[in-house]
Amino acid sequence: MIEGSAWRRWVFFRLPMGIFLIFLLFPFYWMIITTFRPDGELYIPWYRATYKPFWTWNPTTAHLKYLFGETTFAIWMWNTTFIAVVSTAISLFCGVLAGYALSRLNFKGAALLGTTIFVTYLVPQTLLFIPLSEIIRTYSLGDTPWSLILSYPTFLIPFCTWLMMGYFKSVPKELEECARIDGAARWQAMLYIVIPVAVPGILSAMIFAFTLSWNEFIYALVFLSSPEQKTVPVGVISELVRGDVFFWGPLMAGALFGSIPVAIAYSFFVEHYVSGVTGSVKG
Amino acid sequence: MATAAIPVPEGTIIVGKPKWRPLEGEGNLAMLLLLPTVALLMMFIAYPFVRGILLAVTNSKVGQMGEFVGFENFARLLKDPIFHAVVYNTFLYTFVTTIFKLILGLWLALLLNRDFKFKAFTRAFILLPFIVPTVLACFAWKWMFDPTFSVLNWMLFKLGIVAAGAGVNWLGDGDMAMLSIMIVNIWRGVPFFAISLMAGLQTISPDLGEAAAIDGAKPWQRFWYITWPLLMPVTMVVMLFSVIQTFSDFQIVYVMTGGGPANATHLFATYAYQLGVGTGLLSQGAAVSLAMFPLLFGIVIFQLMYIRRVETR
Amino acid sequence: MSSVTIRHVHKRYEDFHAVKGVSLEIKDKEFVVLVGPSGCGKTTTLRMVAGLETISEGDIMIGNKIVNQLPPMDRDIAMVFQNYALYPHMTVYDNMAFGLKMRKFDKAEIAKRVNNAADILDIKDHLGRKPRMLSGGQRQRVALGRAIVRNPQVFLFDEPLSNLDAKLRVQMRVEIKKLHQRLATTSIYVTHDQVEAMTLGDRVVVMKDGLIQQVGEPLELYNRPANKYVAGFIGSPAMNFADTMIEEAGGAVYATNPTMKIRVPEQIAARMGPHKGKPATLGIRPEDLRMANGTDPEDLSFEAVVEVAEQLGSEIILDLKAGGSAMVASVEPTVRVKPQQKIRLAINPAGLRFFDATTEAAI
């Protein structure tokens, strides 16, 4: 437990921790409260006496109704889910196999290839979005979910590979050797022994890749154009902002509901996610 | 004595002919396992990279492949005052936010590393800014920064810091807008620093701190001489990731200011987007994007070398 | 079941020559132990037999088949690892059944064999459990069970007992011995523990620096070590060594140094011809030393100073200083000595060994 007297505990622990929590979580509170606040209460200038920011006694579902009724938000949710699930699946498949090969097999060029994949892991999406948009257009993939499903793995695979390499290295070599002596071919030892043992690592990679592709913005912004193809982040920004007019109620409702799937996925796998964060750092 | 001739066992010798098992060869199996990854990365990273360079040395616009113009696009950038501002902004943005993320993240990591009630719960909530879609969270901030309805101004007003009708112009003034996007970037990055550094802290044996305490080290001395040096390798890697992310940031600026007011907050990525996609000057946009590469490359090499030095020490 | 022949086998890594021409013939049903310090090449040799390491030079035959090119899966062997290598995501039953499933045995046969092995090893109650729920000894039994269900040509053991505590180790040693008596499968067992080697092996192979030092039955190694290294490695406490000069005086041969002048027994003296006038190392086991009682001849005893006396109940181990060299003697439990006391020790002449000072080979 925390040592020291009560005032020390307050000054050195509770107070800073409280400030951190308010700083980090207040925007979410603001999102929620705005979602359920009627327009009449939202648009009061901050210096008026009637400005009561932290609570509302007249909660409304008008913004939600607008979001789900007047916009194609539900379709964006579906698009985002579909793209995130498929690109995560592709990336996991590639990343697990590549991670296994790079961490467990001796072959010419292993070190070079490992370094190359690490370097691509560091390439930011914003470096390549312009030529990539050209390529997407030449493949006639523009404005389809496949443009994202195929391009998201470019940053997800290096990440999954890197994470899985670290995880596979922690699986004792003897397990695999024993399986091979037991009569398993290399690929069988991988499939029946090493991969099942690495399931926690795969879950970490999965949940991380899912949130990364759910949150991706610039490729979706550049590659998609018609409203019914868009993902949540792009849809919200392009359909709920008209020029300089922001529909704050529905915007916040969209932000809230667009965050909920990742928050739920995350809450189920907090531990895996945290080990993904730390694993991605340690490698 | 060990090399005395060994008699061959009775019966005919059979040379064990292996069945045809191509995947028992490590090279072959590795090749097969890496094939999908290499194919995808070639197609969607290596090829775009080459294509990007080609774009940058031509004068292409959307829908038409241009002619070769050599380094004209880059030469134009060197003379472009907005590009100068972009370089300055990006370095300032990266430098300031990284410092703050490191300090605040480390502080939070040290707080989280203690034992207290609801620790797992707190830790889970703290990561939220990092996991929710950045664009959506930025809208919440933009709403909080709204000139007329800002809850932050209301708080400052209630605290007596600003007068009614003279609130902070969060996103409307150039310097203030830069500060605002920095705050949002720090808000988003601190959880990542905190959780990663906490994981690093947990690998440090508490025995070391206790031994130092017995040797008479005060808490800050324990931190400075024990914790900080041991945490260095993790810190460096976290910084590496954060610097790359921040240097190439797009979403926060795009949502909060769109690069404005008067280009005061443009970064490489947003300027590239404005030129390449907004104005349709593909080649110039690609040139701005690519200009990021040598700078980023330099930073990464520098940091990787530093990490290696720290780790081999 | 079958024999294993290792012929002139080398293992070279990029910067390390791990095994330098090892030749060994292991007969059908034999239990052979490879023993030596870490880095001596014993584990590498075993792994080459298993197919986990490629062979740089030479042949390995199982039965009359050269297996150099075969992957482990095609060699029909079983191996027990130091850390057990139990598949953590499978139950004990599935762990034992895995090898049979891979070889496409039918379900009934698998069940029969697994249950049979579980009976032999007394792990029937644990078949449904995961390895992490088992104690160290139980895990070791499962690892053994996994090896025996397949009824392979050869068992390979890679230091299987070194993760167990001392008491369990003795118990499992007996268990492995019993198992071998029952199944009579050709076995190669690697260990760094000479006690395990002596108690388990039909024959023991002492290795050092990638070379075989001596192959023989346990007592042969103990009684007739081929060189100084084997003499020092086998037996506990280890053999004492003293540097001496071989000299002839009055028709007898003596090994002398400033603190001792020991007469070399006749049958060894006969072989001393070329060593006369040259240095040689004298070796004597602690159990071949006892307290002198006054009737012992001068030239079969020497003086020493007690440094530490360790009372073990059945014997006393004396750590001594005789001139420049440290000596250990194992004496009767009734002896009473004090530290720094000067005593005289008598040598059992049958226990005297001599080694060439340069080649270290036995004389």
Nearest by CB to residue A153, choosing from B40, B134, B251, is B40
Q: What is the mean pLDDT of residues B111-118?
A: 85
C358: how many CB neighbours lie within 10 A of its CB? 10
With pLDDT > 90 as the criterion, what percentage of chain A qualifies?
Answer: 37
pLDDT for A249 equals 86
Which has more confidence, A244 or A154? A154
Chain C residues lying within 8 Å of A185, measured CB to CB: 71, 73
pLDDT tens profile A7-33: 887 888 888 999 999 999 999 998 998
Nearest by CB to residue B124, choosing from A127, A133, A267, is A267
Mutate to test the interface with C, among B15, B17, B21, B28 (most CBs of C within 10 A): B15
d(CA C263, CA C270): 13
Neighbours of chain C (3+ CB pairs under 8 A): A, B
Task: Extract the tokens encoding B256.
Answer: 């909060």
d(CA B233, CA B137): 31
pLDDT for A56 equals 76
Domains and CATH numbers, chain A: 71-277 (1.10.3720.10)
End-to-end alpha carbon distance in chain A: 32
Q: What is the 3-state secondary structure (H, E, C) of B6-37?
A: CCCCCCCCEECCCCCCHHHCHHHHHHHHHHHH
Chain B residues lying within 8 Å of C63, measured CB to CB: 9, 11
Position B69 confidence tier, pLDDT thresholds 50, 70, 90: confident
Confirm if B242 and B193 have CB atoms less than 8 A apart. Answer: yes
pLDDT tens profile B15-31: 777 777 888 888 889 99
pLDDT for B2 equals 41
Chain B residues lying within 8 Å of A42, measured CB to CB: 149
Position A283 confidence tier, pLDDT thresholds 50, 70, 90: very low
Find, in chain B, the residue whose alpha carbon is nearest to that of C226. B1
Q: Do B14 and C67 touch (CB under 8 A)?
A: no
pLDDT for A39 equals 80
Chain A residues lying within 8 Å of B289, measured CB to CB: 126-130
Task: Extract the tokens encoding B90.
Answer: 């990006």
Confirm if C186 and C2 have CB atoms less than 8 A apart. Answer: yes
Which has more confidence, B307 or C348? C348
Confirm if C294 and C232 have CB atoms less than 8 A apart. Answer: no
Residues contacting residue B135 through CB under 8 Å, at least 6 positions apart: A215, A217, A233, A234, A236, A237, B251, B254, B255
Highest-scoring range by mean pLDDT, A52-61, B154-163, C137-146: C137-146
Q: What is the CA radius of gyration of chain B?
A: 28
Average pLDDT, chain C: 90
pLDDT tens profile C231-265: 999 988 899 999 898 988 877 888 888 888 888 88
pLDDT tens profile A91-146: 999 999 999 999 989 888 888 888 888 888 778 888 888 888 888 888 888 889 99
Q: What is the mean pLDDT of residues B215-233?
A: 85
Q: Do C89 and A197 touch (CB under 8 A)?
A: yes
Mutate to test the interface with C, among B12, B14, B26 (most CBs of C within 10 A): B14
Nearest by CB to residue A175, choosing from C50, C72, C87, is C87
Average pLDDT, chain A: 86
Q: What is the mean pLDDT of residues C198-208?
A: 94
Nearest by CB to residue B9, choosing from C24, C64, C67, is C64
Q: What is the 3-state secondary structure (H, E, C) of A150-183?
A: HHCHHHHHHHHHHHHHHHHHCCCHHHHHHHHHCC
Confirm if C323 and C258 have CB atoms less than 8 A apart. Answer: yes
Lowest mean pLDDT among B73-77, C136-140, C299-303, C322-326: C322-326
Q: Do B140 and A135 touch (CB under 8 A)?
A: no
Q: Which of C117, C142, C145 is nearest to C130 (CA)?
A: C142
Q: Which of C221, C219, C218 is nearest to C232 (CA)?
A: C221
Chain C residues lying within 8 Å of B13, measured CB to CB: 61, 64-66
Task: Extract the tokens encoding B123.
Answer: 């830790």
pLDDT tens profile A131-153: 888 888 888 888 899 999 999 99
User: Distance (Å) from the C-alpha of residue C190 to the closest C-alpha of chain A?
Assistant: 16
- Which of B:72-101 have CB within 8 Å of A? none
Which has more confidence, B281 or B87? B87
Pairing outcome for strands C203-208 and C211-216: antiparallel
Decide: helix, strand or coil at residue A195.
helix
Q: Do C102 and A172 touch (CB under 8 A)?
A: no
pLDDT tens profile C156-191: 999 999 888 888 899 999 999 999 999 999 999 999
**Does pLDDT of C361 surpass 80?**
yes
**Does pLDDT of A192 surpass 90?**
yes
Position C48 confidence tier, pLDDT thresholds 50, 70, 90: very high
**Does pLDDT of B12 surpass 70?**
no
d(CA B274, CA B255): 13
Neighbours of chain A (3+ CB pairs under 8 A): B, C
pLDDT for C318 equals 92
Position B166 confidence tier, pLDDT thresholds 50, 70, 90: confident
Q: For helices B228-247 and B282-312, what crossing angle results, to 10°?
A: 170
User: What pTM did the predictor assign?
Assistant: 0.86
Interface check for A109 against chain B (CB to CB < 8 A): the answer is: no
Which has more confidence, B170 or C227? C227
B126: how many CB neighbours lie within 10 A of its CB? 22
Confirm if C248 and C347 have CB atoms less than 8 A apart. Answer: no
